Amino acid sequence: MDIKEKADIIAMICNGILLLNKQSSAPELTGKEWDEVLEFALFQGVLPIVLQKLNEANPKDGTPMGKEQLLQWIGVTLQNEQNYKLRLYVMRELTKLFGQEGMDIMFLKGASLAQLYPNPEWRVFSDVDYYLFGESEKGIKLLAENGIENTDYYHHHTQASFNGVLIENHYDFVERINHKCDVILDDALKELAAKEGHDVKVSFLGEDVNNAYLMTPTMNAIFLMRHMSAHFVSESVPMRMLYDWALFLKKYATEVDWDYVVPLYEKSGMLKFVGIIMTILKNHLEFECPTCPVALGSQGMADRVWESIINPPKSDPHEKFTLRYYLFEAKTFFANRWKHKLVYPGESFVGLFFKYVKLGLNMMIKRR
């Protein structure tokens, strides 16, 4: 079974379960083929959804998946459910901790997007991202006083470990150092946070939580697309991000201020990428959003982006911040030049390369 066939099977299952497209029966696959499909689904971040069809499956050759394999996949899903609950616990603890100092917190993507899924535990995510309404430094100090030390990351947020969960404190919504277009978007998101950032309270952490908020639909329309495009340039995006976007549009497209958002897409050079994603949603997720005014993108480029999604570059196998790690990253960086032109039109590719070289050298020196 090739990658395209596996991607089509996963899309068929996820489209029916998540987007309520025409319902289909479980595909007829051998036990070995099911194992391949589930492996691919794990890689694409949609394993818990695909597993919902496994109990309906009748292996076409009469050979079911081995008991050990089946238990392994079920174990992965159960672990994901526990991970989700742990992250909710961490979010509650963060909220209480900051609330004691009169601080508000806004959670980004992660658990908030999970609420769009039929079962929130199906949405795979690892870290907890948050914004403290301009009080990032105060938050870092408060965490340190409670034994949680933050470390600097490349840009726009710090990192810490809370009960084994990676938490990221965003002082900027998106990085402002390497791309001029991101300054436009980050300024807009901060202005919106000040204006409407307290409009959407978190409801899934319990009734006693009153200082936690989520992005408004207009903020998410900007942030989610920039987050997706940034991931696409650096590596690729999993199919899970496509379903995040489709589910977001399905529920909130009518509440987005598109008259504000679309000009921002255009000014930041992101409009072409958004149009291509909308084309992919139509072609492969069988989803269209009449409320979103962004025109569909080039079919040829959409095919190329889809190919990158289902067949992404290999992950860097080397230890982080070593010379071999950066040599591998450089190779991937140059292979992704076409992505840079798509997402950051008009920006210097060579100039960005030397910025990354300088950053990498500094990181290597710091860790000696």
Q: How many Å apart are CA 165 and CA 30, to the nearest integer? A: 37
Residues 148 and 205 in one domain: yes
Q: Is the pLDDT of residue 62 over 60?
A: no
Residues 275 and 342 in one domain: no
% of the chain residues with pLDDT over 70: 94
Residues 91 and 128 sit within 8 Å (Cβ to Cβ): yes
Tens-place pLDDT, residues 264-288: 999 999 999 999 999 999 999 999 9
* Residue 177: CATH number of its domain: 3.30.460
Q: Is the pLDDT of residue 156 over 80?
A: no
Q: Is the pLDDT of residue 356 over 90?
A: no
For residue 16, what are the contacts with CB-CB under 8 A and spacing of at least 6? Answer: 22, 23, 24
Q: How many Å apart are CA 206 and CA 293, to the nearest integer? A: 36
Residues 332 and 293 in one domain: no
Q: What is the pTM of this model?
A: 0.92
Tell me which of 264, 289, 312 is where a domain ends: 312
Q: Is residue 204 part of a domain?
A: yes
Q: Is the pLDDT of residue 61 over 60?
A: no
What ranges make up the beta strands (E) of 29-146? 105-108, 128-131
Q: What is the pLDDT of residue 363?
A: 66
Q: Is residue 46 part of a domain?
A: no
77 falls in which pLDDT band (50, 70, 90)? confident
Residues 338 and 287 in one domain: no
For residue 207, what are the contacts with CB-CB under 8 A and spacing of at least 6? Answer: none
Tell me which of 146, 181, 215 is where a domain ends: 215
Task: At 182, list the tokens.
Answer: 């991101």
Q: How many Å apart are CA 220 and CA 212, to the nearest integer? A: 16
Q: Is the dihedral of CA 310, 312, 317, 322 positive or negative?
A: negative
* Domain around 336: 316-368
Q: What is the pLDDT of residue 13?
A: 94
Residues 162 and 111 in one domain: yes
Tell me which of 297, 312, 327 is where a domain ends: 312
Tens-place pLDDT, residues 191-222: 999 999 999 999 999 999 999 999 999 999 99
Q: How many domains does the chain have?
A: 3
Q: Is the pLDDT of residue 304 over 80?
A: yes
Residue type, 259: D
Q: What is the mean pLDDT of residues 44-58?
A: 85
Pairing of strands 157-162, 165-170: antiparallel
Residues 112 and 195 in one domain: yes
Q: Is residue 198 part of a domain?
A: yes
Residues 285 and 205 in one domain: no
Mean pLDDT of the chain: 91
